[in-house]
Structure 1
């Protein structure tokens, strides 16, 4: 572990906007931001030494809660970021500070003791994350044996497995996850580059899993897959395809603090991010389902 970035090997991500505007799309009561990261300060929560980037100092819990208030969002799911590896300390402290309106997705060692799983569950953790994108080792490879092992450990708790993956790299993922012990959750609309279109075999496999009630997708991070500037018009077809396929298996998230985004494109304002929902999920009743009912079911909000 190291408390400071190590030069070019782990550059700082750009900070999020702190002047978050109120969105034009009014979000319903008990809306949930189902994908966000809370980071630092680095002297208290040191990063994993072998990371590929470092979080900006502004990506702290105070600023995140201010962003939620500006959007009118009451619930949140904190996801363990890659730069903390399997040290969930910052995540757990964030959950404790936010209380009953927060849930967490942790990163675990394969040999995590059962007592630790029970402690994490009591703290509000509801899933375990595997990242095969923002890593130096194991990039683009699904470790199915490991996934099955960990899923069998967390299934009795009602947890799910969250995968940061490009589904286009796995055209037979519905076959690979047949009989999997838990639900799976995939971020960033499947993380398919927009140029591949919704006819991509991996994207279709994800939608088959969703129709079968075995997978969920997060409407997050359009800037990660779009070839266009905000409002990312080339992503609309992906959102509509997911809504048409299985609206009951969708949740939305801000992807705050948008780490790595402005290395290539301008940092988005979270009010603009929220307003994309008006185009992506056009029916207000379905929008409420995605923002309120679905995350309550997936993450156990009462």
Structure 2
């Protein structure tokens, strides 16, 4: 098993600097442990035009390296965004540039060839991202077909629900999956209902099956309180961590394409929020280091 217990050369425990598409300049008030992972960010490189011709936000590998340095992170997981469709050239280029300190989650059609899956695996891809609703949704009962395609590689399925209710409707299909499931962005638990919403009960049941992870990422999607605390997500985060601290992940969602106006999210402040959700250092270490190691670097 690959283990990166210390920070790679050039990465220090956090330092003040400006980073494109990130609010603030300060390092986190609470330094992260060596080996800490940002489990959800994107790369948008103008060398690789997007399928839908979007061009409002570009965030390159060099830009992201500055964020990593500011936050003191050691590793990261590059997630293929919807705007690139099934074009994984930008993702692969980013993974090659970041090297062993990065893993990836790709977007592929169900009929993708085994040779292409093998190629992506060699470049560091360890999962496939599917959408429940949106421009190209995958019906929940089709997820198992993807699971069969990726089973031999030990990959997981990462799902973006977009709406909390979509996750509730998909629960039975997800409970039947033979592979690991990773749920983005707090499961899109709607606010202001929060922990009282049926989506929360669904998330907790999925976490209880031992095969599901959830990402504490992009709180601005559902928060009604807004920047920079997004405090209405606190109860949701605490409940998820208390339920399954061994299967919770943290991600920045940089470069925050869903935030189209200022202020931009302060990534250091969002990372510091983890100390409110998990006051025990051992639990934060599990979320930032141990859980990503098990999911993305197990081989």
* Residues 55/37 of structure 1: CA separation in 2 closer, same or farther (3 Å cut): farther
Match of 1:181 in 2: 178
* Residues 193/54 of structure 1: CA separation in 2 closer, same or farther (3 Å cut): farther
Paired residues of 2:27 and 2:70 also in contact (CA < 8 A): yes
Match of 1:201 in 2: 198
Cα distance in 2, alignment partners of residues 163 and 55 from structure 1: 25
Cα distance in 1, alignment partners of residues 180 and 199 from structure 2: 17
Task: Report SS of the residue matched to 1:126.
Answer: strand
**Paired residue for 1:274, among 271, 275, 286?**
271
Cα distance in 1, alignment partners of residues 23 and 197 from structure 2: 37
* Residues 69/241 of structure 1: CA separation in 2 closer, same or farther (3 Å cut): same
Paired residues of 2:140 and 2:170 also in contact (CA < 8 A): no
Match of 2:131 in 1: 131
Cα shift readout 1:39-90 (whole Å, capped 9, x = no counterpart): 111xx201113x7x54513x11101011001110010000000110000000
- Structure 2 spans left out of the alignment, 5+ residues: 1-19
Match of 2:81 in 1: 81
Pairing 1:156–2:155 present = no
Q: What's the offset of the Cα at 1:107?
A: 0.2
Cα distance in 2, alignment partners of residues 260 and 188 from structure 1: 12
Match of 1:45 in 2: 48
Cα distance in 2, alignment partners of residues 151 and 20 from structure 1: 41
Cα shift readout 1:90-124 (whole Å, capped 9, x = no counterpart): 00000001111100000001111111111111111
Task: Report SS of the residue matched to 1:181.
Answer: coil
Q: What's the offset of the Cα at 1:262?
A: 3.2
Pairing 1:228–2:225 present = yes
- TM-score (normalizing by structure 1): 0.87
Cα distance in 1, alignment partners of residues 170 and 258 from structure 2: 27
Cα shift readout 1:197-236 (whole Å, capped 9, x = no counterpart): 2122222111111122121100101111100122011110
* Residues 18/246 of structure 1: CA separation in 2 closer, same or farther (3 Å cut): closer
Match of 1:5 in 2: none
**Paired residue for 1:21, among 7, 23, 26?**
26
Q: What's the offset of the Cα at 1:168?
A: 3.2
- TM-score (normalizing by structure 2): 0.88
Pairing 1:262–2:267 present = no
* Residues 217/16 of structure 1: CA separation in 2 closer, same or farther (3 Å cut): same
Paired residues of 1:168 and 1:200 also in contact (CA < 8 A): no
Match of 2:116 in 1: 116
* Residues 104/185 of structure 1: CA separation in 2 closer, same or farther (3 Å cut): same
Paired residues of 1:30 and 1:292 also in contact (CA < 8 A): yes
Aligned residues: 278
Pairing 1:212–2:215 present = no
- Structure 1 spans left out of the alignment, 5+ residues: 1-14
**214-223 or 163-172, which moves further after superposition?**
163-172
Task: Report SS of the residue matched to 2:192.
Answer: helix
Cα distance in 2, alignment partners of residues 54 and 216 from structure 1: 32
Paired residues of 1:79 and 1:104 also in contact (CA < 8 A): yes
